[in-house]
Structure 1
């Protein structure tokens, strides 16, 4: 019988990783069932994308007074340092329902495999697979009826917060390299690494080349100009320790030769992903309205 080790490899406020690979998660694990949201009336249901790996998602559908109207689609990736968080939690169910209602958009919130049980790049692989699965409904005969019936596949967006923003960028860049175009990319306080040694990444992403790995730091990526969308919106927060990398991404994208339009919005006086925990505050409401406006701008032909 294999003996468990209680020796800690790394500890964060929300989780602890032991040297034998086990993890204790202290937050982001609460699960609630899909149901109509009591505040927004957005409906949700859970879908399985790849049974073999457990890749799944929670799908959100806003109220649709006109059943003939097709809505934008946002493929969304949650944050949590690649280790915690799930679309099935109260935090993300509430957050994504608010986005769906404010933007009047269908949202596919993806449950990717998490580290350290599934070291990176497993989450990158899942993110890409989920994006392809969503786009496969564009001929209206995919496995999920809400996507077949209600999505305008000329208005597909990809987005995410923190580590989920890293995954969202990866999906849209890989799409561009592969000749696939989506309409836009929206990043909420994205994690794009740092210049210091990162013990967590050494554990959960052993194949990474560190601070110059383009999967973590897009500013180092010579393919950045091939991003597969026409518009990008980057949110940063004034007190966020990740703010500088978000700003650097904005600047690098402008200089990359990419032909689209990028905008950056800074929320003053707040910290990393504040909108998840204080969704009713003034800055969060402004963030939601800006994101909704971005998702509803007139279609750009790519």
Structure 2
């Protein structure tokens, strides 16, 4: 949680309001000030009445994984895509930080993937899958396989140790990653994690809300995320 302090004199601090801190980011593309993401963060700040932090972590392939994860962790200690945000919360389950309580995580169309196709949205053709494979392989300089638990949490034996008390998974019906998000939700719900997990599915494609922020479904998503952040 973040605190906003006002001062009427050098010796008399007055607590104005206690605000949630939201850490936001995208996986491996652009920087923290890329306009569509930046605009979306401002919309969330206004709707949910929160303080937002966008992590401008070093990106691949020049800076291979695990550098973006480590940069994001350092930012949280001093203070990304959904994939990076998820892995920060997994890390919070094992590495406790003094004064920081990670309450929840909202995963917006998360980039989860794996070596073997699942569900109905993913192609079974190796050539068709290569573009998605390479997002991970190029950024990691081929140091980590497609079933690395950071990319494929469905194979992670530590899944139940997720370091927060609530999760919201947002998926889009025409998103190629849709089934991964749904099965992740099911895994949290049924495989020993003790928190509260919710899911929201809307029409649309991957991260459509960035290109069409004023659309009906983008606004419904924003409202749901805002409500999720505000809940204890």
Instruction: Specify the TM-score bucket, using the shorter chain as the normaliser.
Output: 0.7 to 0.9
The question of 1:172 aligning with 2:117 is answered no
Q: Give, in whole Å, the separation in 2 of the partners of 1:69 and 1:201.
A: 41
Tell me the CA shift for residue 74 of structure 1: 0.4
2:18 counterpart residue number: 70
Tell me the CA shift for residue 78 of structure 1: 2.0
In structure 2, stretches of 5+ residues that fail to align are 5-13, 117-129
Tell me the CA shift for residue 208 of structure 1: 4.2
* Cα displacement string for residues 175-221 of structure 1 (whole angstroms, at most 9, x for unaligned residues): 01123541101110000123356234322213544232101111111
Matches within 5 A, 1:261-272: 261-268=196-203, 270-272=204-206
Which structure ranks higher in relative contact order (CA pairs < 8 Å, sequence separation ≥ 6)? Answer: 2
Q: Give, in whole Å, the separation in 1 of the partners of 2:199 and 2:173.
A: 12
8 Å CA contact 1:78, 1:110 repeated in 2: no
The question of 1:293 aligning with 2:218 is answered no
1:243 counterpart residue number: 178
The question of 1:191 aligning with 2:111 is answered yes
Partner of 1:130, secondary structure, is: helix
Matches within 5 A, 1:132-147: 132-134=77-79
Q: Give, in whole Å, the separation in 1 of the partners of 2:61 and 2:141.
A: 10
1:98 counterpart residue number: 43
Partner of 2:20, secondary structure, is: strand
TM-score (norm 2): 0.82
Instruction: From the superposition, tell whether residues 67 and 101 of structure 1 become closer, same or farther in structure 2 (CA, over 3 Å).
Output: farther
Partner of 1:190, secondary structure, is: coil
Tell me the CA shift for residue 255 of structure 1: 2.5
More strand by share: 1
Q: Give, in whole Å, the separation in 2 of the partners of 1:243 and 1:194.
A: 13
8 Å CA contact 2:137, 2:146 repeated in 1: no
TM-score (norm 1): 0.63
1:274 counterpart residue number: 208
Q: Give, in whole Å, the separation in 1 of the partners of 2:224 and 2:164.
A: 18
Matches within 5 A, 1:148-227: 160=80, 164-180=81-97, 181-195=101-115, 198-206=133-141, 208-227=143-162
Q: Give, in whole Å, the separation in 1 of the partners of 2:16 and 2:134.
A: 51
8 Å CA contact 1:194, 1:245 repeated in 2: no
Matches within 5 A, 1:7-22: none
8 Å CA contact 2:136, 2:146 repeated in 1: no
Q: Give, in whole Å, the separation in 1 of the partners of 2:85 and 2:58.
A: 15
8 Å CA contact 2:93, 2:163 repeated in 1: yes
8 Å CA contact 2:113, 2:151 repeated in 1: yes
In structure 1, stretches of 5+ residues that fail to align are 1-60, 135-159
Q: Give, in whole Å, the separation in 2 of the partners of 1:209 and 1:254.
A: 27
More helix by share: 2
